[in-house]
Amino acid sequence: MSGRVLKPSGQPPVRRRPETCQGTRLQSRHTNRGESDERANEGEETKPWGDIMILPKPKDAIRFLLHNIQGLKRGRKGRQQLEAITAEVARLNIDVLGITELNNHFKILPAQEQWDERIRALPRNHSVCATNRHSASNRTHLYGGTAQVLLGSMSYRASLSKRDSSGLGRWVSTRCQGKGGIVLRFITGYRPNKDHDGGPYTVFSQQEKRFKQVDPDGDRCPLEAFYEDLGKVMEEWKNEGEQIVLSLDANEDVRSGEITQWIELWGLVDAHKQSHPHLSAVETCSANSSNVPIDGIWISPGLNLLGAGYLDYGEFNSGKSNHRALWIDLEWDSALGYDSPPPSYQPPDRLNLKDHRVIRRYNRYVKQEFSRRNLFQQLYNLETLALARRLSLEEHLQYINICQQATEIKQGAKNKCRKLHMRRYPFSPLLHKGRETVRLWDLVIKRKEANRKIGRQPIRRLSHLLQIQHPLRVSLPHAIRKRSLARKEYNKIQKKAD
């Protein structure tokens, strides 16, 4: 039996027309899985490219990472793979993770192997996944697929996720809502590789077959269709004023290929080229040895980059992948708007100019202090000297000292002119309960003392709120003891609030 995978019955092979589909022909990864890493065999040493990733991540940064994992495993190996990815996400402080080549046929997989079930292994996240929904294959391994995972605080910003409307799983996107109407959209896509043998299960063959089903008389190339269809939705998002972070496994030279002209139409900039314009390009997949990067990240010009680079092979542990992981750090304020600092406590002004009693106390205190320190006489003497001649250096210093004392006196008068019956502690149910307990026993004591007219209604209301049964049946000495205990407990709560 031949080693070639046969087409299921009822699905004839699709004929190729190479002259109608133009594109960079890179070595197919799908038909060369058994080959080892060429660079490793040649003994060449690889290293990261671009900036060195800062750990821990800066607080004002959004870290995005793109990686072609070349297959999400299933079963026990799949759980181990997700555990490794979870550990890497935590180690590198990743906020948004873009994944290409899931290589899973979710349509026929059991419930426990579905994306939503498996991604629960990661901490608090918002995710979206897309694969080919039209394949009639009965194999669990289906090449292609894209996914995004937003983690931590970024998961709360996610407002809407979308998939490729054609059902081919070519891209996914997530819309993040920022401050002041600012919207940021992350897009992760996988553009197929032009294969050479015409195998029926490659991503190129899957998409070509689907286009034939939709339009039997048409001859649409999957490589060109990718840019055409993604361009239509990107036009809508751009017209809505959204900022874009586009990450692609383009399977062509992202610095000089056809994609550069398409990117220019949308006004996006190559994040890595912008950060390191003088660095020579390196490959992002070890299957080529010509320093051709086939993966890339492009951003809107209004986004500020804090860093960008490629990790070395295997530095992001997601299993056996011959792709580098690409990462960028975006400034939070430019991506999602300015996050204003929390309000600080401002004590109220005690000097209320609308209250004549407060003004009278303030003036009385100032006059008393000026008289006590003999400032009026000192000022009169300096004024007399200033009218007769120029003041000396010592007299200047004396005048400055009088002004400083006057400022201290006025500030002290502001603190003494009015009492503020309030606390600096923020409201909490525990503090409120302690304060109301003291108030309840105050009312009970006042009612039981002679010549005090206190109604029953406020006591009943507080007893019901605090769930204290029959407080009026308590004797006066017992009520005084209970108030003392309540005050001690309230003071303990206040110390904890500090």
Q: Kindly report the pTM of this predicted structure.
A: 0.65
Residues 186, 165 share a domain: yes
Express each pLDDT in 312-348 by its tens digit.
Answer: 999 999 888 999 999 999 999 999 987 667 777 777 8
> Rounded CA gap, 82 and 112, in Å?
14
Q: Provide the domain count of the chain.
A: 3
Query: Which of these, 297, 294, 246, 308, lies nearest to 49 by C-alpha position?
Result: 308
Residue 483 lies in a domain: yes
Q: Are residues 78 and 42 in the same domain?
A: yes
Tell me what pLDDT residue 123 has.
Answer: 84
Shared domain for 106 and 182, answered yes or no, is yes
**408 and 441 both lie in a single domain:** no
Examine residue 348 and state whether it is found in any structural domain, yes or no.
no
Max Cα–Cα distance, the chain, nearest Å: 121
Last-in-domain residue among 371, 390, 416:
416
- Residue 8: inside a domain, yes or no? no
pLDDT for 498 equals 60
Say if 82 falls within a structural domain: yes
Q: Is the domain of 319 the same as that of 448?
A: no
Per the domain annotation, does 283 fall within a domain?
A: yes
Query: What pLDDT score does 196 carry?
Result: 64
For tokens 């010549």, the residue is 451
Question: Do residues 404 and 469 share a domain?
Answer: no
Q: Which range marks the domain in which residue 434 is found?
A: 429-497
Q: Quick one: tokens of 454? A: 């206190």
Same domain assignment for residues 48 and 178: yes
The residue among 412, 415, 405, 408 whose CA lies nearest residue 376 is 405
pLDDT of the residue at 32: 37
Q: Are residues 63 and 144 in the same domain?
A: yes
User: What is the three-state SS of the chain?
Assistant: CCCCCCCCCCCCCCCCCHHHCCCCCCCCCCCCCCCCCHHHHHCCCCCCEECCCCCCCCCCEEEEEEEECCCCCCHHHHHHHHHHHHHHHHHHCCCEEEEECCCCCCCCCCHHHCHHHHHHHCCCEEEEEECCCCCCCCCCCCCCCEEEEEECHHHHHEEEEEECCCCCCCEEEEEEECHHHCEEEEEEEECCCCCCCCCCCCHHHHHHHHHHHHCCCCCCCHHHHHHHHHHHHHHHHHHCCCEEEEEEECCCCCCCCHHHHHHHHCCCEEHHHHHCCCCCCCCCECCCCCCCCCEEEEECCCCCEEEEEECCCCCCCCCCCCECCEEEEEEHHHHHCCCCCCCCCCCCCCCCCCCHHHHHHHHHHHHHHHHHCCHHHHHHHHHHHHHHCCCCHHHHHHHHHHHHHHHHHHHHHHHHCCCCCCCCCCCCHHHHHHHHHHHHHHHHHHHHCCCCCCCHHHHHHHHHHHCCCCHHHCCHHHHHHHHHHHHHHHHHHHHHHC
Whether residue 316 is found in the same domain as residue 450: no
- For residue 64, the model assigns a pLDDT of 98
- CA atoms of 357 and 402, how far apart (whole Å): 27
Residues 319 and 360 in one domain: no
Q: Is 295 in contact with 248 (CB distance < 8 Å)?
A: yes
Q: Cα–Cα–Cα angle for 62, 68, 69, nearest 5°?
A: 105
* CATH number, residue 278: 3.60.10.10
- Does 158 lie in the same domain as 269? yes
Whether 229 and 266 map to the same domain: the answer is yes
Q: Is residue 239 part of a domain?
A: yes
Residue 7 lies in a domain: no
Are 61 and 112 in contact by the 8 Å Cβ rule? The answer is no
Of 268, 301, 336, the one marking the end of a domain is 336
Nearest to 148 by CA among 156, 138, 158, 136: 158
Rounded-to-integer distance, Cα 253 and Cα 144, Å: 19
Point out the residues of the chain with pLDDT beneath 70. Answer: 1-44, 196-198, 339-340, 423-424, 451, 498
The pLDDT score that the predictor gives to residue 2 is 38
Domain finish residue from 416, 447, 465: 416
96-100/61-68 β-pairing: parallel
274 is a domain residue: yes
Is-contact 329 308, C-beta < 8 A? yes
